[in-house]
Chains A and B, each alone.
Chain A
Amino acid sequence: MSNKIPRRTWLKAAAVTAVASLVGNTRAEPQDPTKTQGASPGKLGSRSPFEQPEKKPSDISSRTPLQDLYGTITPSDLHFERSHAGVPVIDPEKYELLIHGMVERPMIFRLKDLKRFPAFSRIAFIECSGNFRTGKTTMTPQEICGLTSQSEWTGVMLSTLFREVGVSPKASWFLAEGSDAAVMTRSIPVSKGLEDGMIAYAQNGEAIRPQQGYPARLFLPGWEGNTNVKWIRRIELSDQPFMTREETSKYTETVKDGKIRQFSFDMDARSVITYPSYPQQVEKGWIEIRGIAWSGRGKIDSVEVSTDAGKNWTKAILQEPVLDKAHTYFRHLWRWDGQTTEIMSRAIDDTGYRQPTLQQLINARGTDMGGYHVNPVTAWVLQQDGTVLFKPEKWK
């Protein structure tokens, strides 16, 4: 009998039972917490067993449950994952970063060397450029665009390391190489490295998680996730791009006239309403519409919300702080009359770029447009019974 219960259901039930047993009770329902002593302080914090946000894994990636989160920081264990040959295990004592090529002094830095340099921190998002799914009404923000997450990243600026090795003024590109089983590589313009690139070794106050590149990764704020090479072991300065597989056969997109767009680094501005969204349930009356907006090109200037299928738009409140190349929380109070309607949001960044509809993207790139850098306005349908459904649009 018990082996017919789905494993996840069983685990959830077991977690609730565990709480009950902590207070000396074998029943599934927790007792009045004011009548017995609670659990003792522990070595590690834990999530309430009543809260079970989970990533949604596939063979190649795992998605952040955007609809379960508040504010802008992604808990590290819920940060999205994308890897090309799994998550490697790297001993921090043996870890080394080699920087060579067009430099005066080819050098090797151990992890402890990297940590001696000035430690720079910034809060910014990382988003996979293949971050759009559609096709059915029962899709969550996690399923539609859960390949974006935000952390506070800490590490050493690439400009500091480049000065340390004496990068040649003639070097215009560098290769970033990971130590996973794909030895994954991307070519990056030196100008980006000097502008705001960093080698990050910490995430939200602790060492980077293995899934995010432990013990060190490249971090290029605002640029497509794949360029933020994880488990980085080598940087080679050059006067040309290397044309690796990930910047030719992948992470390029077909646009009009059969052309293939390459080195599409910047993530364009985007937003998504995370409340209300599928599979949440709402009631008539006041609803605070909430969501996140972000741009790889700079700050979010404003977010506009429509509650009548795009006929009228109102500026939402942007929750401070509004940071450069960062998820920005937006909120919009609205009184729902209980009639079926569509709600949606669009982000405008400080370059003046306005998040497009899917149709605008198709018009610009053609019907054969590729799946990278697709950032359309996302609409939710509120039905009279309070259910919220995604509104998928025809694409392919």
Chain B
Amino acid sequence: MRRGFLLMMILAACNPEPSRFGFGRAATVREIDSLNISITPDGKGLPVGSGNAALGQVLYTSKCAACHGATGTEVSNNRLVAVFGDTVKAKTIGNYWPYATTVFDYIRRAMPYNSPGSLTNEEVYSLTAFLLWRNGIIDSTKEINAHNLAAVVMPAKTLYINDDRRGGDEIR
């Protein structure tokens, strides 16, 4: 009896959480689809559509050049264009970005700055193609779409290493 009471006290003190509380509600497929815009570097999540550099150039001039410069090289803070091996200090898509899918993902999420989320998927593909072409990564005529964007090899990818700091008696 006394031992049972003690056991109860110990269990109460531990205050274990239930495996589920039952708070919140199930998300429907429609709800998930309406929010889920993420893209993985293997291309999963890329939407239907395609674009090319020629169309992208027109869009770039009207929607991007005000901040990023007429050719993507003029503004040091927002510079987008410098081919791999270029000695410019700016970190650009050509000399720094490791995955082409990130270009599409970021433009679709956050650009243009004065009207984020306003571009169609086709427009984002074209801008992506334009920027990849300007950075010397793809041919000017290449049609970019959900099936081939992830296969574009970004030259800076080979430079990336994982964090090697571990604390302890070593400065890294």
Contact = CB atoms under 8 A, between A and B. Distances in A.
Given A259-B159, A259-B161, A116 B21 contact: yes
B165 interface: yes
A268 B32 contact: no
A179 B65 CA distance: 26
Contact of A107 (B24, B39, B109, B156): B24
20 contacts: A85-B116, A98-B32, A100-B36, A107-B25, A108-B27, A109-B24, A160-B17, A163-B19, A164-B20, A175-B38, A183-B110, A184-B110, A185-B38, A248-B99, A249-B96, A252-B160, A260-B159, A266-B163, A268-B167, A351-B167
B63 interface: no
Interface in A226-257: 233-234, 236, 238, 240-245, 248-249, 252, 255
Contacts of A364: 171-172
B40 interface: yes
A349 interface: yes
Contact of A264 (B110, B116, B165, B167): B165
Given A108-B27, A160-B17, A242 B41 contact: yes
Interface residues of B, dominant DSSP: loop
A242 B40 contact: yes
Contact of A262 (B20, B160, B167, B172): B160
B116 A245 contact: no
B161 A244 contact: no
B26 interface: yes
B105 interface: yes
Interface stretch (A50-58, A206-214, A334-342, A354-362): A354-362
A182 B107 CA distance: 10
Contacts of A255: 161, 172
B36 A234 contact: yes
A234 B41 CA distance: 19
A266 B42 CA distance: 27
B161 A84 contact: no
Interface of A: 84-85, 98-100, 105-110, 113, 116-118, 160, 163-164, 175, 177, 181-185, 233-234, 236, 238, 240-245, 248-249, 252, 255, 258-266, 268-269, 297-298, 349, 351-354, 356, 360-361, 363-365, 373
Contact of B171 (A105, A233, A297, A361): A361
Contacts of B38: 175, 177, 185, 236, 242
Given A234-B36, A260-B161, A108 B101 contact: no
Given A108-B31, A245-B110, A298-B167, 10 more contacts: A100-B36, A106-B27, A107-B25, A164-B21, A182-B109, A182-B116, A249-B102, A261-B164, A268-B165, A351-B166
A181 B170 CA distance: 40
B22 to A, nearest CB: 8
Contact of A353 (B21, B26, B36, B169): B169
A218 to B, nearest CB: 15
- Counting chain B CB atoms within 10 Å of each CB, which of A99, A108, A351, A356 scores highest? A108
- Counting chain A CB atoms within 10 Å of each CB, which of B31, B42, B96, B167 scores highest? B167
Interface in B45-74: none
A349 B170 CA distance: 12
A297 B36 contact: no
- Counting chain A CB atoms within 10 Å of each CB, which of B19, B24, B40, B161 scores highest? B24
B76 to A, nearest CB: 14
Contacts of B25: 107-108
Nearest to A258: B159
Given A183-B109, A245-B105, A351-B168, A110 B96 contact: no
Contacts of B116: 85, 181-183
Contacts of A354: 169
B162 interface: yes
Contacts of A361: 171
A99 B31 CA distance: 11
B152 interface: no
- Counting chain A CB atoms within 10 Å of each CB, which of B19, B20, B106 scores highest? B106
B161 A261 contact: yes
Contacts of B171: 356, 360-361, 363-364
Contacts of A353: 167-170
